[in-house]
Amino acid sequence: MAAGHAAAEYWEVFDRLRGCWASWGVKPLWLSPLRAGRNQPAHPQQVETAHFCGSLPHAACLPFFDELEDATPSVYGGLGVVHRLEPLRPLDSAGRLEAYHVAETIIVGDQGFCIEAYARIRHDIGQLLSRYVGGE
């Protein structure tokens, strides 16, 4: 949890990301953390839930592709919650998290559109993150 100044810093990153999404003409997504198992094969990191006989996704974007009805070249963006079975976590508590929020940017379209959009998005996200962390 973060509160006060620390929370404001997280929101600043998200606000900048929303600015990027706006400049890319992103179609907004609401990525529900509970899926009813539509076309989702079993995955070793998927978390089963008794709530509505569904599952908690191990990757926020996978349910999006299950339900995509139109492959018109587009960029989508939204927040999702990921839940993963991480059996080695008790051995390494600083390892991978079992649940966390993600900001998803998903590119759909033909190869040319995807390559062009990915290059722009990668550059812009790199610029955004360079204000907070080093590396590539």
> Is 95 inside any structural domain?
yes
Q: How many CA atoms lie within 13 A of 27 on its CB side?
A: 12
Supply the pTM of this predicted model: 0.75
- CATH number, domain of 25, equals 3.30.930.10
> pLDDT, tens digit, for every residue of 81-94?
777 777 776 777 77
> Is 17 inside any structural domain?
yes
> Is 94 inside any structural domain?
yes
Q: Which of 32-41, 49-58, 95-104, 124-133 has the lowest mean pLDDT?
A: 32-41
Mean pLDDT of 27-51: 64
For the record, the structure tokens of 86 come out as 């991480």
Domain count, the chain: 1
> Is 98 inside any structural domain?
yes
Mean pLDDT of 89-110: 82
Spatial CA neighbour of 124 closest among 25, 10, 20: 20
> Is 9 inside any structural domain?
yes
Check pLDDT > 90 for residue 18.
yes
User: pLDDT band at residue 40, thresholds of 50, 70 and 90?
Assistant: low
**What pLDDT does 80 receive?**
81
Domain assignment of residue 86, given as a range: 5-130
Whether the Cβ atoms of residue 10 and residue 87 lie closer than 8 Å to each other: no
Could you please report the per-residue DSSP string of 42-79? --TT-EEETGGGEEE-SSTTHHHHHH-----SEEEEEE
Spatial CA neighbour of 38 closest among 22, 24, 20, 57: 57
